[in-house]
């Protein structure tokens, strides 16, 4: 397979290095990632200005081409398809995000946004995420095997796979839960704390932090990761629709 690997945490993130190394076991890999942190960008594209693309010669996974883009995760996918990759990829892997993409947080996710940009272009996509604390025990043990299982299953042209790995030790890991529905809740709740104002004009400054939830409804993606399961589900796009001939039109050309 030809695999495009991207993320929203930037080219140096631990998650994308792990994802690229795993992808190399499955085929030819091109890494195209933002040159800086781009979380919560959703499917934002850069318009009416420019982006810079730079080849990365010291990416820590041997045998893959790597590039940075001075734009969003969706820009990385678009630039990859339009100007960087010589041939269209067979699939896009996005992640591994530093923080779960579950519940309402999916709507804001740059990781999911990149995957959605891929399916608009007619390329299947998987979004990968894990706990924000950097505990990769379950990821390191099961990433390749779980990805192979997902690749073997059918999915609609208007859907992406959404995988969330629990941030726990292998001793606490409980297994895989498939067909998780999107929780009707935020995993992270924003907390606004007033700070000294930076200007004497009546403005107010707030520090924004977040606290994770402690419980969720049964059958949901949030409940799965809270209980130390790998959560696997699908996220549907209303932009892309199935066609009987398995083709869609992207920027004027048939795919």
Q: How confident is the model at residue 199 (pLDDT cuts 50, 70, 90)?
A: confident
Provide the pLDDT for residue 251.
Answer: 40
CA triple 193-209-140, angle to 5 deg: 170
Count Cα atoms within 13 angstroms, Cβ side, for 122.
Answer: 14
Whether 204 has a pLDDT exceeding 60, the answer reads yes
* CA–CA dist 128, 8 (Å, integer): 11
pTM attached to this predicted model? 0.91
Place of tokens 């990759």: 85
Q: pLDDT tens, 133-191?
A: 989 999 999 999 999 999 999 999 999 999 999 999 999 999 999 999 999 999 988 99
- Most distant CA pair in the chain: distance in Å? 63
Whether 215 has a pLDDT exceeding 80, the answer reads yes
- And the tokens for 87? 């041939």
Whether 34 and 115 have beta carbons less than 8 Å apart is answered as no
Provide the pLDDT for residue 253.
Answer: 42
Q: pLDDT tens, 90-113?
A: 999 999 999 999 999 999 999 999
Q: How confident is the model at residue 239 (pLDDT cuts 50, 70, 90)?
A: confident
Torsion, Cα 158 222 39 115, to 10 degrees, reads -20
* CA–CA dist 199, 115 (Å, integer): 40
Q: pLDDT tens, 54-99?
A: 999 999 999 999 999 999 999 999 999 999 999 999 999 999 999 9
């Amino acid at each position: 397979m030809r695999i495009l690997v991207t993320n929203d945490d930037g080219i140096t993130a631990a998650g994308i290095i792990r994802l690229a190394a795993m992808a190399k076991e499955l085929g030819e890999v091109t890494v195209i990632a933002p040159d800086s942190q781009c979380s919560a960008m959703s499917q934002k594209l850069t318009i009416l200005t420019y982006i810079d693309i730079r080849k990365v010669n010291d990416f820590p996974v041997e045998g893959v081409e790597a590039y940075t883009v001075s734009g969003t995760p969706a820009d990385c996918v678009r630039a990859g398809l339009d100007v960087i990759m010589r041939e269209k990829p067979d699939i896009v892997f996005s992640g591994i995000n530093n923080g779960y993409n579950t519940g309402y947080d999916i709507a804001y996710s740059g990781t999911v946004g990149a995957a959605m940009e891929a399916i608009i272009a007619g390329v299947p996509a998987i979004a990968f995420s894990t706990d924000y604390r950097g505990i990769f025990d379950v990821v390191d043990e099961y990433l390749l095997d779980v990805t192979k299982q997902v690749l073997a299953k059918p999915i609609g042209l208007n859907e992406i796979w959404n995988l969330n790995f629990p941030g726990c030790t292998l001793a606490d890991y409980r297994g895989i839960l498939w067909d998780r529905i999107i929780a009707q809740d935020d995993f992270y709740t924003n907390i606004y704390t007033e700070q000294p104002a930076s200007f004497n004009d009546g403005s107010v400054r707030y520090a924004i932090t977040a606290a994770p939830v402690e419980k969720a409804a049964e059958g949901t993606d949030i409940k799965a990761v809270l209980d130390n399961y790998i959560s696997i589900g699908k996220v549907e796009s209303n932009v892309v629709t199935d066609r009987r001939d398995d083709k869609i039109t992207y920027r004027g050309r048939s795919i």
